[in-house]
């Protein structure tokens, strides 16, 4: 599903126009981005938590030449799925037939 399809699904599910659904989605994503960029977390109960994490500087290897390279420290976004989201996505493993 891409952004256009998501907007259509939001518009259909909430009985609003596609334009209004697009504005609502953009506002939601902007709020999440700006909050996480400030170092705060966004928790959507049952869906998950958006946060940021600091990654320390480290030394890696160039895969082509094998020589060491320096990788700078960075702040990266993280997402931890909630229980409701995990349950909706997970499927029970198929049972094996007994012999």
* Residue ranges covered by each domain of the chain: 1-38, 39-91
Mean pLDDT of 30-55: 96
* pLDDT of 18 above 80: yes
pLDDT tens-digit map of 30-40? 999 999 999 99
CATH of 39-91, one of 4.10.520.10, 1.10.10.10, 3.20.20.70, 1.10.10.60: 4.10.520.10
Q: Which of 41, 47, 46 is nearest to 77 (CA)?
A: 41
Mean pLDDT of 60-85: 95
Provide, rounded to the nearest whole percent, the portion of the chain with pLDDT above 90: 90
Q: Which of 34, 36, 16 is nearest to 24 (CA)?
A: 16
In the numeric block, which tokens belong to residue 37? 């960029």
Of the pLDDT bands very low, low, confident and very high (cuts 50, 70, 90), residue 91 is confident
């Amino acid at each position: 599903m891409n952004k256009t399809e998501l907007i259509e699904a939001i518009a259909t599910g909430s009985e609003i126009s596609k334009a209004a659904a697009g504005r609502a989605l953009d506002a939601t994503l902007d709020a999440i981005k700006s909050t996480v960029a400030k170092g705060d977390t966004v928790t959507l109960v049952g869906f998950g938590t958006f946060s940021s994490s600091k990654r320390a500087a480290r030394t890696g290897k160039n895969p082509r030449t094998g020589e060491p390279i320096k990788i700078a420290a960075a702040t990266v976004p993280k997402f931890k799925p909630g229980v409701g989201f995990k349950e909706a996505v997970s499927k029970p493993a198929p049972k094996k037939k007994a012999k």
